[in-house]
Amino acid sequence: MTDTGARTTYEEDVVDLLLAQHARIEQLFLLVIGGTGDIRREAFDDLVKLLAAHETAEEEVVHPLARGLPGGGGDAMVDERLAEERQAKETLRTLVAGGVDAEGFETGIILLRDAVLTHARYEERHEFPRLRQHVPAEQLRGLAAAVRAAEATAPTRPHPGAQSATANLAMGPALAVIDRIRDAVRKPSEGKR
């Protein structure tokens, strides 16, 4: 909290940002699973983009920091999260390729939701509290800006091969350009459905 005299403002930290994104991801899953037609398509497209950007930012900013936290176990914790993220990206890529009207989409999206939400809950119970415990509040606030910057240049589609900060930094910008061109080309043609 920063006291500006007349009012108090809140400065979001990286954990708050990621928790808000987890909540939005859960909402989008509900819209995809419960929606039909264009509502389902739009919610799924938003979900894909948010998951791709969110995981890229975690891989570039949060996980490297979590690896070095005091108390040990950081490498194992992050490696487990990366394995979950890789599996989710592969499942998501399959769902994107088939589209929301494909046979098996219903089952696939429910399985993906369960895996993604389990992954998020693990981060919320184990990784995020350790970040808050061991990383100064000012640094956590600065990391929120770093996550937003990483998301701004992140791919908009899942890329299971880009799983580390190094891979994301090396391949991410090129993949992001390709994804954003595909998105731009796809938008006009979507209106013709």
Would you state the pLDDT for residue 119? Answer: 94
Instruction: Judge whether residue 5 has pLDDT over 70.
Output: no
Closest of 13, 88, 100 to residue 50, by C-alpha: 88
Would you state the pLDDT for residue 56? Answer: 86
Closest of 190, 160, 127, 145 to residue 52, by C-alpha: 160
- In sequence order, what are the beta bridge partners of 186? none
pLDDT digits (tens, 9 = 90+) for 42-75: 999 999 999 988 988 898 889 999 999 988 888 9
- Residue pair 15/131 in contact (Cβ under 8 Å)? The answer is yes
The pTM assigned to this predicted structure is 0.76
pLDDT digits (tens, 9 = 90+) for 11-33: 899 999 999 999 999 999 999 99
Distance CA 144, CA 54 (A): 12
- Residue pair 127/66 in contact (Cβ under 8 Å)? The answer is yes
Distance CA 19, CA 158 (A): 20
- In sequence order, what are the beta bridge partners of 9? 2
Distance CA 40, CA 98 (A): 14
Least confident of 31-35, 76-80, 156-160, 187-191: 187-191
pLDDT digits (tens, 9 = 90+) for 79-116: 999 999 889 989 999 999 999 999 999 999 999 999 99
